[in-house]
């Protein structure tokens, strides 16, 4: 997660750009009104990174009912990744809680092995950032359903939570991501089939994760 903070800042920048954009099909009156609004908005655009971070913090508070949620320490998240998970044996683990400018996230990871198959499982707590600010799960707000001779990519649900699935026949790699309680992002990937990844996620205590504070 060395570049996590840069990703957060970049994602926030994209959000600002998206919010300031307008439709090309406006009438002249609408364009004039939009121009006035743009001028008003431009006065509030961040002049530097510090201002951008302050605006990000304000956005975080708005997303959480005026409160900034402190992410759970990665050591607590690590408890959800046991020595054995769905017949896979853990080979390594790690994690970190990091932040800057008032924005903090936590991440725990473990690598597992079963035979020749190896997978990586990550649990991230976005805390007050919210999934909308992270820009790390854009699929959570859209529907994806694609499949061809090379594999598939789709959004679906798992254990009642929205998830994202991707499989490549060429590499034999599968990826699975799931959002829990609009705050936690669980991702798994490896050279195995999608069913195994789903078993790994189901083997975790997602209800416990959802209730963590």
Q: Which residues does the chain have with pLDDT short of 70? A: 1-68, 100-102, 128-136
Q: Residue 80: its pLDDT value, please?
A: 93
Instruction: Say whether both 49 and 83 belong to one domain.
Output: no
Instruction: Say whether both 95 and 167 belong to one domain.
Output: yes
**Contact, 126 vs 105, CB < 8 A?**
yes
Among 63, 82, 112, give the residue marking a domain's end.
63
For 21, the token pair is 């954009």
Residue 22 domain boundaries: 4-63
CATH code of 106's domain: 3.40.1000
Q: Residue 213: its pLDDT value, please?
A: 76
Torsion 58-127-211-72 (CA) sign: negative
Q: Residue 128: its pLDDT value, please?
A: 55
d(CA 74, CA 57): 21
d(CA 45, CA 207): 40
* Residues written for the chain: 213
Instruction: Say whether both 58 and 115 belong to one domain.
Output: no
Instruction: Say whether both 90 and 35 belong to one domain.
Output: no
User: What three-state secondary structure class fits 40?
Assistant: helix
Q: Residue 137: its pLDDT value, please?
A: 77
d(CA 108, CA 96): 7
The dihedral over CA atoms of 57, 58, 63, 68, expressed in degrees to the nearest 10, equals 50
Instruction: Say whether both 125 and 81 belong to one domain.
Output: yes
Asked if residue 69 is part of any domain, the answer here is: no
Q: Residue 179: its pLDDT value, please?
A: 92
Asked if residue 80 is part of any domain, the answer here is: yes
Q: Residue 81: its pLDDT value, please?
A: 95
> Domain total for the chain?
2
Number of neighbouring beta carbons within 10 Å of residue 167 = 20
Q: Residue 119: its pLDDT value, please?
A: 97
């Amino acid at each position: 997660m060395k570049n996590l903070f840069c990703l957060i800042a970049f994602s926030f920048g994209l959000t600002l750009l998206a919010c300031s954009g307008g439709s090309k099909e406006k009438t002249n009156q609408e364009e004039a009104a939009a121009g006035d609004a743009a001028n008003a908005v431009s006065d509030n655009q961040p002049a530097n990174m510090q201002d951008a971070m302050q605006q990000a913090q304000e956005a975080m508070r708005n997303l959480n009912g005026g409160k900034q949620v402190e992410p759970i320490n990665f050591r607590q998240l690590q408890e959800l990744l046991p020595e054995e998970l769905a017949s896979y044996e853990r080979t390594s683990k790690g994690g970190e809680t990091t932040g800057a400018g008032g924005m903090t996230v936590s991440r725990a990871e473990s690598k597992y092995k079963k035979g020749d198959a190896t997978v990586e499982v990550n649990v991230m707590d976005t805390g007050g950032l919210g999934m909308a600010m992270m820009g790390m799960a854009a699929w959570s707000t859209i529907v994806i359903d694609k499949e061809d001779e090379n594999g598939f990519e789709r959004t679906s649900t798992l254990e009642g939570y929205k998830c994202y699935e991707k499989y490549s026949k060429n590499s034999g790699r599968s990826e699975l991501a799931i959002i829990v309680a609009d705050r936690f992002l669980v991702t798994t990937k490896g050279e195995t089939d999608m069913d195994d990844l789903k078993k790994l996620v189901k083997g975790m205590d997602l209800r416990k994760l959802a209730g963590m504070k």
